[in-house]
């Protein structure tokens, strides 16, 4: 006898065997019991959740010799022929290969004739959304008022592609993705009946890889049994399914917590040598980042994460090494990299750059925690005594969660006291790991990743005489953009906020002599680009003369320009579109 794959062998034969679709099962059983049979049904949902199986069960229930009944006998000719697809009164049609209007007309022509033997003539149309627009239109009239012995059952994975005029004439059932515990429980029953020794961890792995599809999970189990035999080892099952181990994913996030970029690169190289797909690994990272965020926010989240006690303990311990805001950034950055990993010519390179960026992220600390930390060398009592009194007026209030002002943890070091007037300026200090430049770079990684990428070309930044000198190689493509007035102004604002004192940012060509760099630091900041004025336009004969450039209007435009350039939204738009302010005016 030919081998029957497990997905076919263990397909539900009764309504009671259907898993995870209780709402649809109960509704159809009640309709059969009360003889409330509609003429059209649409079963919508993702692949492998039981749409076609439910259609066959409903057809059996309608045409059983004891029917319509919610409990078909399973012994009559109709109950035996319908699951095998050879009933003369139940037509299973593939919508993808019968999508044309002529084929739909031929099908509708058969509805004029009564059933050959059974009670109903039933049309099960799979992949219903692939029918052409003209075929949909041809079906409308018959679907609205079919003969009393005709029932249409349409199955689709993309209900949004079906014209609204079709669902308005049918009863629509939304089939849900199956929960991981329900899939794993069914896989355990199948493994026991097949006398296969397999661990719960492997079954959970197959269930998670299925993405809520029971058919995919059973097929994965069938593949594992074919590869490993009656005794399945966890490592062999993982290799058979091509799934990345949980240990590798957890090791990745442990290295991110330690900010160990070399360990991340070695891990990626190890996976690449093993033939793992970078896009698949990126998807695993995205899933694990989400699990860490939930575990960090809700420690008792075993049911929500559908994880066993052992896996939940590991996830909770790993999540404790991050803050909630850190994990939010990780989820956002990893999610943003998913499309590039899927379609890039060299996805490994993108994965490596993502890993380095994650390792360079500074930890965020809430304002409450920052205020709770006493300054270096000052006790908590002294810090409280030295704290400034609150301003007069009503105290601010907030509803719900406290709003957080976040800052990189590297920026929590006490800022140096400002030098007294007339005292000599400190000597140039090379930038270290806790320097102003590194703190500014950490902030830009979160707020303006594109600007942080341009700063990666800076070679040997240093602080000199109240300025932050950024040497950029002459060959760098980012040098011109960094030297623009709006860019240096934005960097100056961030550096000043982080240092707690006025700091000017100067972009110079790498290799510039120290004397030249010192002159650049002491030079006044370059003015913001001025808007174009009416003097540039030709004056028609007899037209009034334009106002002088130094008049009140010009001064007002300068003020408006400075105000606009200080706005973060304006700076972001200018950065994205490589734009500059040409003219400005005040509305209303």
Domain boundary among 364, 393, 416: 364
Report the pLDDT value the prediction gives residue 527, as an integer from 0 to 100: 46
Predicted pLDDT of residue 71:
92
Q: In sequence order, what DSSP letters do the residues of 219-284 get, joined into one string?
A: HHHHHHHHHHTTB--HHHHHHHHTPPPHHHHHHHHHHHHHT-HHHHHHHHHHHHHTT--HHHHHHH
**Span 325-344, pLDDT tens digits:** 889 989 999 998 888 888 88
Statement to judge: residues 47 and 152 lie in one domain: yes
Q: Are 21 and 62 part of one and the same domain?
A: yes
- The size of the chain, in residues, is 588
DSSP secondary structure code for residue 111 in this structure: G
- Classify the C-alpha dihedral 531-534-535-538 as positive or negative: positive
How confident is the prediction for the chain on average, in pLDDT?
79
Position 529 in a domain: no
**What is the band of 144 on the pLDDT scale with cuts at 50, 70, 90?**
confident
Q: Are 41 and 120 in contact (CB under 8 A)?
A: no
Whether the per-residue pLDDT at 584 is higher than 80: the answer is: no
How many angstroms separate the CA atoms of 142 and 104, rounded?
11
- pLDDT the model gives residue 97: 85
Contacts 24+ apart (CB under 8 A), 567-574: 571/486, 571/490, 572/448, 574/486
**Domain end call among 191, 222, 241:** 241
Two structure tokens written together for 207:
């269930």
Same domain flag for 216 and 125: no
Three-state SS annotation for 542-555: CCCCCCCCCCHHHH
Q: Between 585 and 34, whose confidence is greater? A: 34
Residue 367: phi and psi, rounded to 5, are -65, -35
**Torsion (CA) 242, 244, 245, 248 in degrees, nearest 10:** 150
What distance in Å separates the CA atoms of residue 192 and residue 187, rounded to the nearest whole number? 9
Residue 59 scores a pLDDT above 60: yes
Whether 74 is in a domain gets the answer yes
- pLDDT of 538 above 50: no
- CA–CA separation, 487 vs 126, rounded Å? 57
Residue 445 token pair = 């990684």
More confident site: 374 or 241: 241
Q: Which of 82-86, 355-359, 384-388, 572-576 has the lowest mean pLDDT?
A: 384-388
The tally of domains found in the chain comes to 4
With a cut of 70, say whether residue 408 has pLDDT above it.
no
**Tokens in use for 328?**
């939010």
Average pLDDT over residues 552-579: 73
Q: Does residue 35 sit in the same domain as residue 12?
A: yes
Q: Determine, yes or no, domain membership for 310.
A: yes
Dihedrals phi, psi of 386, to nearest 5 degrees: -85, -10
223 and 351 share a domain?
Answer: no
145 and 191 housed in the same domain:
no
Q: Higher confidence at residue 155 or residue 370?
A: 155
- Burial of residue 398 (CB within 10 Å: 0-12, 13-18, 19+) is exposed
Lowest mean pLDDT among 78-82, 205-209, 301-305, 367-371: 367-371
Does residue 310 share a domain with residue 209?
no
CATH number at residue 357: 1.20.272.10
DSSP state letters, 500-549: TS--EEEEEETT--HHHHHHHHHSPPPPPPPPP-GGGSPPPTTPPPPPPT
Tens-place pLDDT, residues 437-484? 888 887 887 777 777 777 777 767 778 777 888 887 766 667 777 778
Question: What was the pLDDT predicted at 537?
Answer: 42
Of residues 266 and 3, more confidence is placed in 266
254 and 233 housed in the same domain? no
The CATH number covering residue 474 comes to: 3.30.300.180
> Quick one: average pLDDT of 381-388?
45
Q: Is residue 12 domain-shared with residue 129, that is, in the same domain?
A: yes
Q: What is the pLDDT of residue 314?
A: 86
Per-residue pLDDT reduced to its tens digit, 298-325: 877 766 776 667 778 888 889 888 888 8
pLDDT given at position 407: 47
Predicted local distance difference test score (pLDDT) of residue 89: 93
Contacts of 294 (CB under 8 A, 6+ apart): 301, 304, 305
Give me 277's structure tokens.
């797909």
Contact 271, 281 (CB under 8 A): yes
Give the residue among 27, 61, 38 at the shortest CA–CA distance from 173. 27
**Nearest C-alpha neighbor of 91 from the set 51, 61, 54, 122:** 122
CATH number at residue 46: 3.40.50.300
CATH code at 224?
A: 1.10.8.60
Alpha carbon distances (Å) from 294 to 304, 317, 319, 351, 525: 8, 13, 9, 24, 47
Smallest CA-to-CA distance from 83 within 71, 74, 93 is with 74
Considering only CA atoms, which of 283, 217, 224, 220 is closest in space to residue 249?
283
* Mean pLDDT on 548-571: 71
Least trusted range by pLDDT, from 9-18, 231-240, 293-302, 316-325: 293-302
Q: Which of the two residues, 490 and 90, has the higher pLDDT score?
A: 90
- 39 and 134 together in one domain: yes
What domain range is 336 assigned to?
246-364
Of 312, 235, 308, the residue nearest 274 (C-alpha) = 235
pLDDT for 109 beyond 70: yes
Residue 295 clears pLDDT 60, i.e. is over it: yes
Sign of CA dihedral 201, 204, 206, 208: negative
Q: Is residue 158 part of a domain?
A: yes
Tell me, letter by letter, the H, E, C secondary structure of 284-346. HHHHHHHHHHHHHHCCCCHHHHCCCHHHHHHHHHHHCCCCHHHHHHHHHHHHHHHHHHHHCCC
Whether 584 maps to a domain, the answer reads: no
Question: What are the tens digits of pLDDT across the range 185-227?
Answer: 999 999 999 999 999 888 988 888 888 899 999 999 999 999 9
- How much is the average pLDDT of 128-149? 90
Q: Which position has the higher pLDDT, 576 or 282?
A: 282
* Same domain, residue pair 88 and 147: yes
On whether residue 371 sits in a domain, the answer given is: no
Write down the pLDDT at residue 426. 41
Does residue 449 form part of some domain? yes
The verdict on residue 277 lying in a domain is: yes
Question: What is the percent of the chain where pLDDT is above 70?
Answer: 77
- Domain end, chosen from 364, 389, 407, is at 364
Residues 34 and 106 in one domain: yes
Task: Answer yes or no: are the C-beta atoms of 470 and 505 closer than 8 Å.
Answer: yes
Up-side HSE of residue 19: CA atoms within 13 Å toward CB?
Answer: 21
229-233: long-range contacts, CB 8 A cutoff, minimum separation 24: 230/195, 230/196, 230/197, 231/196, 231/197, 232/196, 232/197, 232/198, 232/199, 232/202
Answer whether 131's CB lies under 8 Å from 95's CB.
yes
In the numeric block, the tokens 């035999």 are attached to 229
Q: What are phi and psi of 471, to 5 degrees?
A: -75, 125
Assign 34 a pLDDT band (cuts: 50, 70, 90). Answer: very high
């Amino acid at each position: 006898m030919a081998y029957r794959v497990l997905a076919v062998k263990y397909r539900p034969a009764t309504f009671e065997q259907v898993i995870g679709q209780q709402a649809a099962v109960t509704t159809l059983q009640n309709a059969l019991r009360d003889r409330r049979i509609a003429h059209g049904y649409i079963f919508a949902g993702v692949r492998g959740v039981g749409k076609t199986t439910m259609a066959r069960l409903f057809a059996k229930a309608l045409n059983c010799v004891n029917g319509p009944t919610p409990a078909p006998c399973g012994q009559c000719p109709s109950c035996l022929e319908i699951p095998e697809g050879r009933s003369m009164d139940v037509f299973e049609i593939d919508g993808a290969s019968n999508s044309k209007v002529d084929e739909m007309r031929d099908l509708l022509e058969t509805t004029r004739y009564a059933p050959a033997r059974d009670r109903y003539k039933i049309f099960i149309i799979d992949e219903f959304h692939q029918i052409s627009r003209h075929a949909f239109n041809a079906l409308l009239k018959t679907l609205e008022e079919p003969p009393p012995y005709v029932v249409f059952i349409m199955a689709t994975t993309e209900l949004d592609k079906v014209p609204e005029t079709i669902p308005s004439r049918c009863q629509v059932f939304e089939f849900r993705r199956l929960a991981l515990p329900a899939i794993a429980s069914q896989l355990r029953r199948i493994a026991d009946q097949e006398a296969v020794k397999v661990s719960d961890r492997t079954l959970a792995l197959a269930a998670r890889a299925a993405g809520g599809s029971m058919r995919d999970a059973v097929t994965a189990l069938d593949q594992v049994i074919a590869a490993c035999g009656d005794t399945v080892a966890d490592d062999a099952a993982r290799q058979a399914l091509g799934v990345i181990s949980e240990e590798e994913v957890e090791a990745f996030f442990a290295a991110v917590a330690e900010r160990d970029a070399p360990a991340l690169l070695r891990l990626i190289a190890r996976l690449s040598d093993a033939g793992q797909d970078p896009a698949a690994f990126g998807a695993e990272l995205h899933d694990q980042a989400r699990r860490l965020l939930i575990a960090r926010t809700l420690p008792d989240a075993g049911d929500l994460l559908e994880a066993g006690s052992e896996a939940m303990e590991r996830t909770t311990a790993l999540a404790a090494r991050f803050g909630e805001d850190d994990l939010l950034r990780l989820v956002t950055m990893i999610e943003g990299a998913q499309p590039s990993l899927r379609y890039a010519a060299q996805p490994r390179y993108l994965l490596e750059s993502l890993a380095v960026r994650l390792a360079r992220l500074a930890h965020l600390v809430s304002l409450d925690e920052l205020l709770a930390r006493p300054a270096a060398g000052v006790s908590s009592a002294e810090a409280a005594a030295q704290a400034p009194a609150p301003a007069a007026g009503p105290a601010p209030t907030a509803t719900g969660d406290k709003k957080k002002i976040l800052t990189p943890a590297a920026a929590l070091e006490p800022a140096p006291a400002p030098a007294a007037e007339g005292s000599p300026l400190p000597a140039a200090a090379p930038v270290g790991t806790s320097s102003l430049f590194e703190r500014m770079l950490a902030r830009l990684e979160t707020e303006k990743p594109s600007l942080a990428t341009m700063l990666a070309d800076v070679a040997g930044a240093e602080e000199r005489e109240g300025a932050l000198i950024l040497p950029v190689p002459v060959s760098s493509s980012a040098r011109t953009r960094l030297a623009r007035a709006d860019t240096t102004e934005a960097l100056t604002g961030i550096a000043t906020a982080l240092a707690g004192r006025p700091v000017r940012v100067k972009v110079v060509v790498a290799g510039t002599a120290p004397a030249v760099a010192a002159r650049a630091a002491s030079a006044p900041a370059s003015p913001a680009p001025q808007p174009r004025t009416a003097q540039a336009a030709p004056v028609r004969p007899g037209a009034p003369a334009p106002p002088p450039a130094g008049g009140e209007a010009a001064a007002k435009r300068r003020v408006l320009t400075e105000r606009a350039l200080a706005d973060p939204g304006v700076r972001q738009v200018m950065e994205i579109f490589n734009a500059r302010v040409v003219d400005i005016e005040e509305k209303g």
